[in-house]
């Protein structure tokens, strides 16, 4: 019995589907990661049209104030277990838009990310490596960061 | 040109003068004259209003408004200035939207960002800025940004509440007995990207569309004023990542004009070369996106394959695939190692070997023609009135291309021809993209050959010629520059103060703003299936839509 | 009794449908990736063959969300029902020489009727989702199936008419190379109608991602989505198997008869469908309706006349 459950856990870690949601310019490199040269489908990643079937939410770059509610709502619509990957400098501290008056400087304080991928924008290799990191975390049984805390739990959206 | 000057001279003007080769620059003394001047200008043939750009002079207590009129046929342009009082009660002016439909959203933007009131505007609502700025004018120089910033979570909650209220009101307003409804097309939608279209529809038929934009608003125009002249290119480049190099070129040209610096021939050829590489990479994405929006991903994948080779060249030149930051005031940032051209050569060979099958399978695709031939038709008249540019304008047969109309960098030495299509449908815009892609690669070949020849003969030194020094402090002045961006015309209006270390104001006129304005006009009476197709064919990028 | 249970659970029942779904999903992804100049699933198992097994296992054990405001019974009863209905046609298919679960004289009729019910169940899944996009997807699938099924039925009838029987085993046994040539127009029409029935390009209107997100699938997650997905692949199997049985001589091979040939023929149809999918954009609802009623239905009727004519010319005498 335990073996069967282990198999399902392993399957969860090896099959990551992405919600189709872009908040900023890093989605351009995400498209390149889907393309023929990098082809993240080799590792089993697949974009899905609706968040209902997704396992991973990618914060692709900057998060403006206006898109934050949509981001939170998309996250809430995903089924458990779910993970968040933050792309680029913007999703860490605002990056080049740190001084801007309409960008959230610390989106991951609101919605904590499991993996950060550095770069502006990150290269496709880095994106794939970051997603592999998510796989490792799932295999080790680490719960997702957003389920452990973050301001999003107190917000109404 | 003379007839424009005659019109202006018949009114009370502070000055009327020639500016660059294709511009007339003038300043009206009285705002009451504006409507009658605009009417006469339109009769004279200046049918497009490119943009409306207010500049807030805090110390002089003046809100200066700049209108940029264009005539796409005869290439005559007018830069009209006007002073308004700064106080919010009296900061108002007659709207030009009834005469120039293209002014619509531009005036709404000026209203939202600067609090300029446009009298008799048909639809003066906030645009771009999020709801927490309602009633505030974020781009005014005296706007207290830090006070606003202090409680960001409350600001977000304001946005959430506004959205909920809007959704609730939507349902109330609708006729309960009919099948009318309002769909949110985006921002979490497979084909939308960060934009929301409020689609008012009856079953599958569209009654009207009201785009809700601002989801990637980064307030670039405000952000740039916090940086120095070199640092600002980081923000300018992020106007849209798909074609970032040409936007940097536009900014660099404006700075060079104020600093009175002339760049070397090598740098100007490099700008052409890099700019065309960026245009190619953008057009590849655009072609792929068009078919993606009809549910076919093959072309996007094939294009991505070829595009990577062009990005390889950018990477070896600048160290980054996309965010190259490689054009800056005074020239181009890096010298060129001639070995880098090997990678460009590889890319060109890859392009030449693969473009044939793209044409055979996708450009001549019978189902695509069946699907897109009558959809989203724009007449030449509409192009003029709504101030559209780039591939959208040329697909309707309007001969406009800033590389030819007002040549910059080294485009004057290239022998370019207008590429146009006749009918202006979605299919024409797609074919336009394809033909321009081929044209751009031809330009790359020519520029590469030119640089190689001149380096071989010793006229250009690729490691030293790339940069001319631009002083860190600029004199007081203002300049405009236009480039043909991948998506259309980008106009930048740069204002500097005395001994300035930072730009005082940079207005970026981005083409997608006008193109998105067309969505409602094009989609009324169509069906839901046409939204992604027309959206994709207008070649919109949310980055330069929101700025 | 034991035999019936084995047939229901193992072959051609549930287990077979599951293996078929895992395999076909992998084949679709791998074949599509090749057409895209990509590699496709690679690192899990040989040529990524475990990948779709992992995908389906994950879906099976993920949270199934029942959204606010839906009718929970309608919402959760439809996926299992859709799966059962989609698996039923395989009972009427002669999978190999002498192997058929229900050998009925009205096998052809049962096959097309069971294939034809599926879209109505999918409409109800969209209807029960309390989501505008799902509802639009449901309405679209209903519209499309009504107009496409007419020509599907008429095309599927042509072998029955030619051989004068509705018994699928007799149809397979009487088929020859010569009858294949006579039925070739019928096969092409069946294939086109199949594209409409299975929502494949250019008729992938009901689950058009770029227009209505994911149609009736939009609100389904976890186990429910898993069941719907298996049902979709079982539907593929039923329709491909129908084509193979009716037009391509089912299990008949070059030297010997076996299930192997049945399988190869189904895969060939799948490959042809995928190639078309990689090169054809989607058309609109109006264009689909016009195509269906103005061209498809009349041509299928003409095809029936041609089959009758051929029968009177070549078969009556014998």
Distance from CA of B414 to the nearest CA of A (A): 31
Q: What is the pLDDT of residues C24-53, one digit of tens each?
A: 999 988 998 998 888 888 888 888 888 888
Partners of residue C287 in chain B, C-beta under 8 Å: 370-371
CA C11-C13-C19 angle, to 5 degrees, is: 75
Using the Cβ of C286 and the Cβ atoms of chain B, whether some distance falls under 8 Å is answered with yes
Give the largest Cα separation in chain C, rounded. 67
**Which residues of chain B are in CATH 1.10.645.10 domains?**
220-546
Partners of residue A8 in chain C, C-beta under 8 Å: 57-58, 60-61
Give percent of chain B above pLDDT 90.
7
Residue A2's pLDDT band, with cuts at 50, 70 and 90, is: low
Q: What is the pLDDT of residues B441-464, one digit of tens each?
A: 999 999 999 888 988 888 888 888
Q: How far is CA A157 from CA A71, A151, A152, B157, B163, in A?
A: 10, 12, 9, 8, 10
Interface test mutation site (partner A, options C37, C38, C214, max chain A beta carbons within 10 A) = C38
The CB density around residue C132, as the number of other CB atoms within 10 Å, is: 17
| Residue with the larger pLDDT of the pair B13 and C35 | C35
**Least CB–CB distance from C210: residue in B183, B295, B301:** B295
Partners of residue A23 in chain B, C-beta under 8 Å: 194, 215-216
Comparing alpha-carbon positions, the chain B residue that sits nearest to A94 is B218
Partners of residue B159 in chain A, C-beta under 8 Å: 65-66, 68-69
Average pLDDT of span A92-114: 84
Using the Cβ of A17 and the Cβ atoms of chain B, whether some distance falls under 8 Å is answered with no
Q: Do B189 and C213 touch (CB under 8 A)?
A: yes
Find out whether B118 and B107 touch, Cβ atoms under 8 Å.
yes
Supply the pLDDT for residue B283: 92
Per-residue HEC secondary structure of B364-398 comes to CCHHHHHHHCCCCCCCHHHHHHCCCCHHHHHHCCC
Distance from CA of C87 to the nearest CA of A (A): 24
Which fold would CATH assign to domain B220-546? Answer: Cytochrome-c3 Hydrogenase; chain B (1.10.645)
Number of domains in chain C: 1
Comparing alpha-carbon positions, the chain C residue that sits nearest to B354 is C37
Q: Do C136 and B292 touch (CB under 8 A)?
A: no
Q: Do A14 and C219 touch (CB under 8 A)?
A: no
Q: Strand B331-332 to strand B477-485: parallel, antiparallel, or no bridges (unpaired)?
A: unpaired
Partners of residue A19 in chain C, C-beta under 8 Å: none
Partners of residue B291 in chain C, C-beta under 8 Å: 281
Residue B514 has pLDDT above 80, yes or no: yes
Partners of residue A11 in chain C, C-beta under 8 Å: 53-55, 57-58, 61
Q: Strand A115-117 to strand A83-87: parallel, antiparallel, or no bridges (unpaired)?
A: parallel
Supply the pLDDT for residue A65: 85
Name B234's Cβ contacts closer than 8 Å, sequence gap at least 6. Answer: A96, B227, B325
Query: Residues of B numbered 264-323 whose beta carbons fall under 8 angstroms of chain A's beta carbons: which are they?
Result: 285, 300-302, 304-305, 307-308, 311, 321-323
Residue A49 has pLDDT above 80, yes or no: yes
Residue B186 has pLDDT above 80, yes or no: no
Q: Do C210 and B361 touch (CB under 8 A)?
A: no
Q: What is the pLDDT of residues C154-167, one digit of tens each?
A: 998 888 888 888 88
CA dist C140 and C132 (Å) reads 12
Q: For chain B, how many residues are written?
A: 547
Supply the pLDDT for residue B56: 87
Distance from CA of C187 to the nearest CA of B (A): 22
Handedness of CA B327, B328, B331, B333 (dihedral sign): negative
Residue whose pair of structure tokens reads 């084995």 in the numeric block: C6
List the one residue out of A149, A138, A143 whose CA is nearest residue A108: A149
Q: Do C285 and B183 touch (CB under 8 A)?
A: no
Tokens linked to C310:
């051929």
Average pLDDT of span A85-100: 85
**Least CB–CB distance from B181: residue in C132, C205, C281:** C132
**Least CB–CB distance from B219: residue in A101, A121, A151:** A101
List, in sequence order, every residue forming a beta bridge with B496; answer none if it has no partner: B477
Q: Do B371 and C36 touch (CB under 8 A)?
A: no
Q: How far is CA B198 from CA B122, B182, B183, C207, C299, in A?
A: 19, 6, 6, 21, 42
User: Domain coordinates of chain A in residue numbers?
Assistant: 2-154
Predicted TM-score (pTM) of the model is 0.90
**Least CB–CB distance from B152: residue in A24, A104, A123:** A104
**Least CB–CB distance from C278: residue in B298, B529, B532:** B298
Name B384's Cβ contacts closer than 8 Å, sequence gap at least 6. Answer: B47, B48, B72, B73, B398
List, in sequence order, every residue forming a beta bridge with A64; answer none if it has no partner: A103
Using the Cβ of A42 and the Cβ atoms of chain B, whether some distance falls under 8 Å is answered with no
**Which residues of chain B are in CATH 3.30.460.80 domains?**
2-142
Partners of residue B227 in chain A, C-beta under 8 Å: 99
Partners of residue C46 in chain A, C-beta under 8 Å: none
Using a CB–CB cut-off of 8 Å, the residues of A that contact C are: 7-8, 10-12, 14-15, 17, 35-36, 39, 41-44, 46, 48-50, 52-53, 55, 77, 79-81
CA dist C8 and C303 (Å) reads 37
Burial of B468 (0-12, 13-18, 19+ CB in 10 A): middle
Residue C292 has pLDDT above 80, yes or no: yes
Query: Peptide bond before C278: cis, by omega within 30 degrees of 0?
Result: no
Domain that residue C161 falls in: 67-315
Give the three-class secondary structure for B82.
strand
Supply the pLDDT for residue A1: 63
Q: Do A79 and C63 touch (CB under 8 A)?
A: yes
Supply the pLDDT for residue C169: 85
Comparing alpha-carbon positions, the chain C residue that sits nearest to A14 is C54
Residue B170 has pLDDT above 80, yes or no: no
Size of interface B-C (CB pairs under 8 A): 77
Query: Residues of C numbered 44-103 whose beta carbons fall under 8 angstroms of chain B's beta carbons: which are they?
Result: none
Residue C302 has pLDDT above 90, yes or no: yes
Comparing alpha-carbon positions, the chain B residue that sits nearest to C214 is B190
Partners of residue B189 in chain C, C-beta under 8 Å: 213
Q: What is the pLDDT of residues C68-127, one digit of tens each?
A: 888 888 888 888 998 888 888 888 888 877 777 777 888 888 888 888 888 888 888 888
Supply the pLDDT for residue B180: 83
Which fold would CATH assign to domain B2-142? Answer: Beta Polymerase; domain 2 (3.30.460)
Residue C317's pLDDT band, with cuts at 50, 70 and 90, is: low
**Least CB–CB distance from A96: residue in B187, B188, B235:** B235
Supply the pLDDT for residue B369: 87
Find out whether C121 and C80 touch, Cβ atoms under 8 Å.
no
Average pLDDT of span A48-56: 88
Interface test mutation site (partner C, options A15, A40, A45, max chain C beta carbons within 10 A) = A15
Partners of residue C279 in chain B, C-beta under 8 Å: 296, 298, 361, 365
Give me the DSSP letters along B108-139. Answer: HHHHHHH--EEET-TT----SS-GGGTT--TT
Residue A126's pLDDT band, with cuts at 50, 70 and 90, is: very high
Interface test mutation site (partner A, options B304, B305, B542, max chain A beta carbons within 10 A) = B304
Give percent of chain B above pLDDT 70.
100
Distance from CA of B540 to the nearest CA of C (A): 15
CA dist A150 and B47 (Å) reads 53
Using a CB–CB cut-off of 8 Å, the residues of B that contact C are: 181, 183, 189-191, 203-204, 291-298, 301-302, 305, 361, 365, 367-368, 370-371, 527-532
Supply the pLDDT for residue A25: 81
Average pLDDT of span C9-33: 86
- Enumerate neighbours of A (3 or more CB pairs within 8 A): B, C
Which fold would CATH assign to domain A2-154? Answer: Rossmann fold (3.40.50)
Order of strands, sheet of A56-60, starting from the edge strand that comes earlier in the sequence: A46-48, A17-19, A56-60, A83-87, A115-117
Partners of residue A151 in chain B, C-beta under 8 Å: 153
Mean of all residue pLDDT scores within chain B: 87
Q: Strand B196-202 to strand B180-185: parallel, antiparallel, or no bridges (unpaired)?
A: antiparallel
Average pLDDT of span B216-244: 86
Q: Do A15 and C222 touch (CB under 8 A)?
A: no
Q: Do A44 and C51 touch (CB under 8 A)?
A: yes
Q: What is the pLDDT of residues B64-93, one digit of tens each?
A: 899 999 888 888 888 888 888 888 788 888
DSSP A79: P
Distance from CA of B460 to the nearest CA of A (A): 33
Supply the pLDDT for residue B58: 85
Alpha-helical regions (H) of C47-106: 51-61, 72-87
């Amino acid at each position: 019995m335990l073996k069967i459950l282990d198999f399902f856990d392993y399957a969860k870690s090896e099959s990551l589907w992405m919600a189709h949601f872009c908040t900023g310019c890093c989605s351009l490199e995400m498209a390149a990661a889907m393309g023929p040269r990098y082809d993240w489908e080799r590792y089993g990643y697949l974009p899905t049209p609706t968040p209902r079937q997704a396992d991973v939410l990618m914060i692709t770059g900057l998060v403006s104030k206006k898109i934050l509610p949509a981001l939170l709502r998309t996250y809430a619509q995903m089924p458990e277990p779910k993970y968040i990957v933050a792309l680029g400098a913007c999703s860490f501290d605002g990056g080049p838009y740190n001084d801007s008056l309409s960008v959230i400087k610390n989106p991951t304080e609101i919605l904590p990310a499991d993996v950060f991928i550095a770069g502006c924008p990150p290269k496709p290799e880095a994106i794939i490596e970051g997603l592999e990191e998510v796989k490792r975390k799932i295999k080790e049984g680490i719960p997702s960061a957003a389920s452990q805390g973050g301001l999003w739990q107190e917000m109404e959206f | 040109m003379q007839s424009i000057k005659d019109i202006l001279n018949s009114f009370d003007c502070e000055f009327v003068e020639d500016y660059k080769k294709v511009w007339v620059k003038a300043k009206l003394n009285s705002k009451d004259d504006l409507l009658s001047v605009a009417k006469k200008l339109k009769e004279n043939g200046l049918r497009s209003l490119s943009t409306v750009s207010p500049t807030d002079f805090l110390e002089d207590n003046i809100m200066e408004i700049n209108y940029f009129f264009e005539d796409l046929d005869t290439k005559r342009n007018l830069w009209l200035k006007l002073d308004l009082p700064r106080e919010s009660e009296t900061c108002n002016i007659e709207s030009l939207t009834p005469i120039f439909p293209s002014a619509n959203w531009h005036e709404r933007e000026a209203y939202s960002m600067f609090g300029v009131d446009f009298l008799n505007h048909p639809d003066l609502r906030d645009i771009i800025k999020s709801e927490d700025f309602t009633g505030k004018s974020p781009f005014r120089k005296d706007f207290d940004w830090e006070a606003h910033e202090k409680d960001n979570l409350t600001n977000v909650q304001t946005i959430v509440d506004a959205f909920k209220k809007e959704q609730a009101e939507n349902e109330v307003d609708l006729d309960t007995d009919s099948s009318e409804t309002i769909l949110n097309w985006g921002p979490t939608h497979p084909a939308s990207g960060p934009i929301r279209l409020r689609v008012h529809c009856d079953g599958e038929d569209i009654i009207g569309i009201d785009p809700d934009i601002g989801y990637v608003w980064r307030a670039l125009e405000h952000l740039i004023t916090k940086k120095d002249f070199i640092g600002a290119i980081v923000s300018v480049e992020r106007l849209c990542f798909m074609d970032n190099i040409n936007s940097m070129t536009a900014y660099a040209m404006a700075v060079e004009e104020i600093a009175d610096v002339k760049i070397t021939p090598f740098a100007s050829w490099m700008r052409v070369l890099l700019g065309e590489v960026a245009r190619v990479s953008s057009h590849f994405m655009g072609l792929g996106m068009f078919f993606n929006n009809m549910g076919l991903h093959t072309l996007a994948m094939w294009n991505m394959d070829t595009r990577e080779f062009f990005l390889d060249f950018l990477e070896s030149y600048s160290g980054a695939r996309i965010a190259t930051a490689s054009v800056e005031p005074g020239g181009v940032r890096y010298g060129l190692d001639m070995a880098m051209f090997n990678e460009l050569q590889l890319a060109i060979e890859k392009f030449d070997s693969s473009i044939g099958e793209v044409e055979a399978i996708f450009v001549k695709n019978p189902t695509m023609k069946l699907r897109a031939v009558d959809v989203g038709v724009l007449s030449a008249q509409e192009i003029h009135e709504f101030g559209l540019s780039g591939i959208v304008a040329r697909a309707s047969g309007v001969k406009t291309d800033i590389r030819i109309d007002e040549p910059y960098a080294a485009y004057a030495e290239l022998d370019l021809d207008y590429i146009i299509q006749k009918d202006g449908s979605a299919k024409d815009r797609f074919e336009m993209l394809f033909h321009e892609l081929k044209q751009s690669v031809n330009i790359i070949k020519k520029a590469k050959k030119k640089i190689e020849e001149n380096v071989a003969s010793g006229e250009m030194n690729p490691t030293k010629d790339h940069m001319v020094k631009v002083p860190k402090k600029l004199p007081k002045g203002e300049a405009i520059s236009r480039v043909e961006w991948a998506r259309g015309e980008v106009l930048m209006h740069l204002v500097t103060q005395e001994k300035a270390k930072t730009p005082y104001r940079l207005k970026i006129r981005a083409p997608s703003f006008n193109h998105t304005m067309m969505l409602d006009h094009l989609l009324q009476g169509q069906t839901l299936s046409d939204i992604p197709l027309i959206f994709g064919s207008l070649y919109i990028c949310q980055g330069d839509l929101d700025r | 009794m034991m035999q019936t249970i084995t047939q229901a659970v193992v072959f051609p029942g549930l287990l077979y449908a599951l293996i078929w779904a895992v395999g076909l999903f992998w084949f679709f992804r791998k074949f599509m990736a090749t057409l895209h100049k990509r590699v496709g699933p690679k690192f899990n198992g040989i040529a990524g063959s475990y990948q779709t097994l992992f995908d389906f296992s994950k879906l099976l054990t993920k949270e199934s969300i029942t959204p606010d405001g839906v009718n929970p019974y309608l919402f959760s009863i439809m996926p299992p029902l859709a799966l059962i209905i989609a698996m039923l046609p395989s009972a009427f298919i002669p999978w190999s020489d002498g192997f058929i679960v229900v050998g009925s004289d009205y096998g052809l009729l049962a096959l097309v009727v069971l294939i034809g019910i599926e879209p109505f169940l999918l409409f109800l899944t969209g209807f029960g989702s309390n989501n505008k996009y799902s509802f639009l997807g449901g309405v679209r699938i209903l519209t499309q199936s009504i107009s496409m099924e007419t020509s599907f039925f008429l095309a599927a009838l042509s072998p029955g008419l030619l051989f004068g029987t509705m018994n699928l085993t007799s149809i397979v046994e009487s088929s020859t190379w010569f009858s294949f040539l006579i039925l070739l127009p019928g096969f092409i029409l069946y294939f086109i109608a199949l594209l409409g029935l299975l929502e494949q390009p250019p008729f992938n209107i009901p689950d058009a991602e770029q227009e209505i997100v994911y149609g009736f699938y939009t609100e389904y997650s976890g186990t429910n989505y898993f069941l719907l997905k298996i049902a979709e692949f079982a539907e593929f199997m039923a329709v491909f198997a129908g084509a193979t049985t009716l037009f391509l001589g089912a299990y008949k091979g070059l030297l010997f008869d076996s299930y192997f040939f049945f399988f190869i023929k189904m895969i060939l149809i799948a490959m042809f469908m995928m190639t078309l999918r990689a090169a054809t954009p989607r058309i609109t609802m109006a264009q689909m309706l016009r195509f269906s009623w103005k061209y498809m239905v009349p041509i299928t009727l003409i095809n029936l006349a041609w089959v009758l004519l051929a029968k009177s010319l070549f078969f009556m005498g014998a």
